[in-house]
Structure 1
Amino acid sequence: MLEKLKAYRFPLILLTSIIIGALIGLFFGEDATIVQPLGDLFINLLFMIVIPLVFFSISSAIAGMDSMKRLGKIMGSMLTVFIVTGVIASVFMLVATVIFQPGSGVDIPLSAPEDIEEQTIGDQIVNTFTVPDFVDLFSRENMMALIVMSILIGVATGLSGEKGRTFGRFLTSASEVFMKLIKIIMYYAPIGLGAYFASLVGEFGAELIGDYARAVIVYYPVAILYFVIGFTLYAFLAGGKKGVSRFWKNILGSAATSLGTGSSVATIPVNLQAAERIGVPKDIRETIMPLGATIHMDGSCLSAMLKIAFIFGVFNQDFMGMDTFLTAIGICLLSGIVMSGIPGGGFTGELMIISLYGFPIEALPIITAIGVVVDPPATMVNATGDTVSSMLVSRHMDGKDWMEKADTAKI
C-alpha cells in the first residue's frame, strides 16, 4: 500500500496544491490574485523552454531513426488514431447535445465582431507551414512551421550519413538536456499551479452564470466523462490493465498543467515526461507530443459540436437529421485536427461554422464566448489525449508487449 502511495506521491502533491489554491481563491476572492505572479512564473518557465524542446526532441528523434520507413509508419498510425478519436469525441458530444439541447430558450444579444481579417485558403496554408524569416520560428505562435523545420532537419541529418553523425549527437544531447530541465522546473509545479488556481478562482469563481450556464453544464460533465471513460478505454486497448494503470498513474501532472496554463503547447514538456514513464518509445513520444499539441484536439471536437448545437438552438433551427449530423462531425474534425494547426484556428473554425450553416456573422461572438468558458476542460482533454494516443501508436508499432520491451530496455 505504501509503495503504491509512493508511486502516486508527486501527482497527489500536485492535486493537493491545486485544491489548496482553489480554496484560497474561494475564501479570499479577488485578494487571492496577489499570488498570481507565482503562478505566472511557472507558466512562463514552461513557455520559455517549449520552442527549443520541440525542435530538439523532434529533430533528434527523426535523425536517430534507423529508417525513414519507421517515421512514415509512425505518422500514418498517428493520423489514423487522431481521426478516429476525433470522430468518437464528436459523436460523444453529439449524443449529449441531442438529449440536453444546450441552446434552447437562450436569449443572447447579438453584436458584430470588430476587425475580422479574412485570409484565403492559400494564405492560411502558407502562414501555417512556413514563416518569412528564420527568427520567426522562435515564437510559439508559429508552432507548425517550427515542427515542419524540425522534421526536415531531422530527415536531412539522417540522410547525411557519417557526415551528419556529429550534428545528430548534438541534437540528441540537447534533447536530453532540455528533458532534464523539465524535471528541474517541475519541482516548482506545486507552488506555481497552486498559486495560479488561487488567483484564477479568486477572480472568476462566481462568474459562470447566466445565459451560458446551460452550455457549460452540458460541456463540463461530458468532457470529464470522455476524459475518464474514453481515455480509460484507449489505454486498455493500448496496453490492457497495465496500460490503464500506467496511464492514470502518470497523467495527473499533464491534466493539471493543461488546466492551469490553458495551453496544449505548454503541456508538451510534462506530456513527454509522462509518456516516458509510461514506457512509450522515444521516437514515438517525441514525434507525437509536439504534433499532437497542434493538430490533435479531442476537446476542441467536443466544444465545436457544442457550439454548433448551441447556435442552432439560439436561432431556433432544428438540429436533427443525418445530413446535419454528418456535416457537424466533419466540421468538428476540421476544427479539432486541421484548423487547430492554423494560427488563429479556433476563430477560423468558428467562422467556418457560421458560414457553412448560413448563420449571420453577428452570431460569431456567441460561439466565441462559449469557447472561452469551456476552454479549461477542452484543453485538458486535448493535451492528455496526446499521451494516450502515443500509447495506441506504440501498441500498433511495437506489438502488444511494447511496455515490457520498454521496461527491459531501461534495465
Structure 2
Amino acid sequence: MAEESKKKKLGLVPKLIIGIIVGIIIGSYCPAPVIQVLVTISGLFSSFLSFVIPFIIIGFVTAGIADLATGAGKLLGITTAIAYGSTLVAGSIAFIVASALFPKFINAEVASQIGDPSAGQLSAIFSIPLEPMVDVTAAIVFAFMMGLGISYLRNHGKGEVLFKFFNDFQDIVTATLSTVIIPLLPLYIAGTFANIAYAGQVWNILGVFWKVFVTVIPLHLIYLLCQFSLAGAIGKKNPFTMLKNQIPGYLTAIGTQSSAATIPVNVGCAEKNGVSKQIREFVVPLCATIHLSGSMISITCFTTAVLMMNNMPHGINVLFPYIAMLGIAMVAAPGAPGGAIMSALPFLPMVGIPSEGGLASLMIALYLTQDSFGTACNVSGDNAIAVIVDRINDKLFKSKEA
C-alpha cells in the first residue's frame, strides 16, 4: 500500500504547471481581495526564501569546496579544471545561441508590450520584515574562506570536525529545500502568475518563454553531442556508442532530478564506456557536484531572455562574469532538485535583475519545469569528462609509472 501511495504522488513539474494554471485563472477571474491574499502568501514565502538563500550558499559551497581535500592529487585539479571549463563553455554557447535566436521573437515591440512587469500589480496586504542574517556577498566570502580553510586542514590531518559540521549543515539546508521550499513553490508561483494575470501581462510573457524553453532542450542535446565527440576523439572511442551507453543515466536523472541520486547508475554507464574503475569511481561522484553544464545552459538562456524583454543590457560583458560566478556558486547545488536556480538567485543583481519578485519567480518556474533535462545534461556530461580524464591518466601518469 505504501508503494502504491508513493506512485500516486504528483511530481514537482505537474504541480508547478497546475500552480501556473490556477494562478492565471485566479488572476483573470477573481476579485482583487482574493488575489491579494494569494499575493500576500507569495510575498511571505519570498521573504523566507531571501532569508534562506545565504545559508544555501554557505551550506553548498563550503561543503563542496572542503570535500575536494581528498582526491587523486593532480587528477583532482585536472578534473576540476575540465568540469569548470565545460560549465563556462556551456554558458558561453548558450549566450551566443540566445543572442542569435532570441531577437527574432524578443524585439522592441514585444518589450514595449510587456513593459514594466510590476506595473498594475497588486501589493501584499501585509509583510513581515525578515532580513537575511548575512548578505549574499558575506556568505560567498565566508563559504570560500571556510571551504578552502577546511580543505587545507584536511590535507594536514586536521579539520574533520569542521568538515562534518558543514556537511551536516548542508544536510539541514537540503532538508529545508526538499521539505519546505520546493513543496511551497507551486503556491509561490501561483501567486506570482495571479498578479501578472491581474496586470494583463501573462500571455505576453508566456508567449516569449515557451519559445525560450523550446530552444533550451535541443541545446542540451547538442552540447552533449559536442562533449562526447570531443571525449571520443581524445579517448579514441565511438561517441555514438558512448551516448547509447549513457541513456540509462540520462533517463534516471530525468526521473530523480538529482545528480547525486544518479551516481550509481552513472558509474555503471562509465563502466560500459570502458572507463577504468579507479577513474570512474573518482570522477563521476566529483563531477556530480562540480559539473553544471546543463544547468548553466538553462539559466543563461532564461536570464538573457529576461534582460531582452526588459530592454536591459545583455552583452557578453554583462553575462560572462555572471556565468563565471555561477559556475562556482552552484557547487553541490545539483544534489537537491531546484538547487541550481536557488543558488543562482542572489547573483541576478549582477546583471540588473532583482533577486526576488515577479521576474525571479518566473525564472524559478521556468527553470524547474525543465530541471530534469538540465540535470540529465549535467550527469551525462560527467561521463564524457570521465573518458577524457581516463585517457589523461593513461598518458601522463601510468606511462610515468611504467
Q: TM-score range by the shorter chain?
A: 0.5 to 0.7
Q: Which amino acid aligns with 1:220?
A: I
Distance 2:139 2:246 in 1: 37
Confirm or deny that 1:325 pairs with 2:322: no
- Give me the CA root mean square deviation: 4.2
Looking at structure 2, the residues matched to 116 and 367 of structure 1 have their Cα atoms a distance apart, in angstroms, of: 22
1:378 is matched with: 374
The gaps in structure 1 that reach 5 residues or longer are 1-33, 41-58, 63-67, 144-207, 406-411
In 2: Cα distance, 1:142 partner to 1:131 partner = 16
What is the identity, as a one-letter code, of the residue corresponding to 2:360?
A: L
How big is each residue's C-alpha offset from its partner over 1:261-307, in whole Å with a ceiling of 9 and x where there is no partner? 11111111111111122222233222222221121100122112112
Q: Alignment partner of 2:259: what SS?
A: coil
Superposed, 1:7-406 pairs within 5 Å as: 37-38=6-7, 71-101=72-102, 103-104=106-107, 105=110, 107=114, 109-110=117-118, 117=132, 119-120=134-135, 121-124=137-140, 125-126=142-143, 129=147, 133=165, 136=168, 139=171, 210-228=207-225, 230-240=226-236, 242-319=237-314, 324-341=315-332, 344-353=339-348, 355-360=349-354, 361-362=356-357, 363-399=359-395
Q: Is the 8 A contact 1:103 1:312 kept in 2?
A: no
Hey, what's the Cα distance between the residues in 2 that align with 1:235 and 1:35? Answer: 42
What is the letter of the counterpart of residue 310 of structure 1?
Answer: A
Structure 1 residues 209, 357: closer, same or farther in 2, change over 3 A? closer
Q: CA deviation at 1:39?
A: 8.4
In the alignment, the residues of structure 1 paired with residue 344 and residue 312 of structure 2 have an alpha-carbon distance, to the nearest angstrom, of 20
Runs of 5+ consecutive residues of structure 2 not aligned to the other structure:
10-66, 148-161, 176-204
In structure 2, how many angstroms separate the alpha carbons of the residues matched to 1:358 and 1:138?
29
1:327-353 CA deviation, whole Å, 9 max, x = no partner? 413322332343233585532313312
State the 1:96 CA deviation.
Answer: 1.4
Local SS of the residue matching 2:235: helix
Runs of 4+ that moved beyond 6 A: 111-116
Alignment partners' CA distance in 2, 1:329 and 1:36:
45
1:94, CA displacement in angstroms?
A: 1.5
Query: Aligned residue for 2:201?
Result: none
CA distance in 2, matches of 1:116, 1:346: 21
Shift of 1:388: 0.8
Cα shift at 1:252 = 0.3
Residue by residue, what CA displacement relative to the aligned partner does 1:89-140 show, whole Å, maximum 9, x if unpaired?
1222122111221655263844799967464445455498556749937949
Q: Which residue identity lines up with residue 95 of structure 2 in the other structure? A: L
Partner Cα distance (1:382, 1:373) in 2? 16
1:26-84 Cα offsets, whole Å, 9 max, x none, are: xxxxxxxx9783487xxxxxxxxxxxxxxxxxx9xx6xxxxx7xx11111110221122
- 2:284 is paired with a residue of what secondary structure? helix
- Tell me the CA shift for residue 256 of structure 1: 0.3
In structure 1, what residue type is equivalent to 2:329?
V
Change (3 A) 1:235 1:140: farther
**TM-score, normalization by structure 1:** 0.57
Contact 1:81 1:392 in 2 (8 A): no
- Residues 270, 280 of structure 2: 8 Å contact kept: yes
SS in 2 for 1:399: helix
Q: How many residues align?
A: 278
Who is 1:14 aligned against? none
Partner in structure 2 of residue 150 of structure 1: none
